[in-house]
Chain A
Amino acid sequence: MPLLSFEGVGKAYRGAGVVLDGFDLDVDPGEFVGVWGERRSGKTTLLRLAAGVEAPDSGVVRYAGRDLADLSETGRSRLRLGEIALATIDAPSHVAASAITVADHVGLPLVFGGRSQREAADAAHRSLHLVGAGDCMSAAPFELRPGEGTRVALARALVREPRLLLVDEPAVTPDPTEREEIRDLLHQLTRSLRVAMLVASEEVSMMVGAPRILSIGDGNVVSNETTGTVISFPAPAPTGDSP
Chain B
Amino acid sequence: MSRPRSLLETIVLGSVIERPGYGYDLGKRIEARMGPGWQFNPSGVYASLDRLKERDLVRYEQRETLPRSSPRSRDRVVYHATDEGVVAFEDWLGSEVRKEPVRMDVLARIAVARPEHAPLLLEALEGYERECLDMVAGTTAHESLDVRPWDRMIAEGVRDSVLQHLRAELAWIRSMRRRIEAFGDGEPR
Contact = CB atoms under 8 A, between A and B. Distances in A.
Interface residues of B, number: 25
A215 B181 contact: no
A38 B171 contact: yes
A213 B171 contact: no
Interface stretch (A57-65, A101-109, A114-122, A222-230): A222-230
A237 interface: yes
A205 B163 contact: yes
Interface string B119-138: 00010001001100110110
A204 interface: yes
A184 B181 contact: no
A179 B140 CA distance: 15
B177 to A, nearest CB: 7
Nearest to B168: A204
Interface in A200-221: 204-205, 207-213, 215, 217-218, 220
Contacts, number: 67
Contacts of A212: 137
A235 B134 CA distance: 23
A36 B170 contact: yes
A234 interface: yes
Interface residues of A, number: 30
A204 B126 CA distance: 17
Contacts of B171: 38
Contacts of A209: 137, 139, 141
B136 A208 contact: yes
A223 B141 contact: no
A181 interface: yes
Contacts of A210: 136-137
A207 B136 contact: yes
B174 interface: yes
B99 interface: no
Interface in B31-69: none
Given A215-B129, A220-B177, A224-B130, 17 more contacts: A176-B160, A180-B142, A205-B163, A207-B133, A209-B137, A209-B141, A210-B137, A211-B137, A212-B137, A213-B136, A218-B177, A222-B126, A222-B130, A224-B133, A224-B136, A224-B137, A234-B181
22 contacts: A36-B136, A176-B160, A180-B142, A183-B142, A184-B141, A184-B142, A204-B136, A204-B163, A204-B166, A204-B167, A205-B163, A208-B140, A208-B163, A209-B141, A210-B137, A213-B133, A218-B181, A222-B126, A224-B133, A224-B134, A224-B137, A226-B130
Interface of A: 34, 36, 38, 176, 180-181, 183-184, 187, 204-205, 207-213, 215, 217-218, 220, 222-224, 226, 232, 234-235, 237
Q: What are the 5 tightest A-B residue pairs by CB atom distance, in nearest-first order?
A: A224-B133, A209-B141, A204-B167, A224-B134, A213-B133
Interface of B: 122, 126, 129-130, 133-134, 136-137, 139-143, 159-160, 163, 166-167, 170-171, 174, 177-178, 181, 185
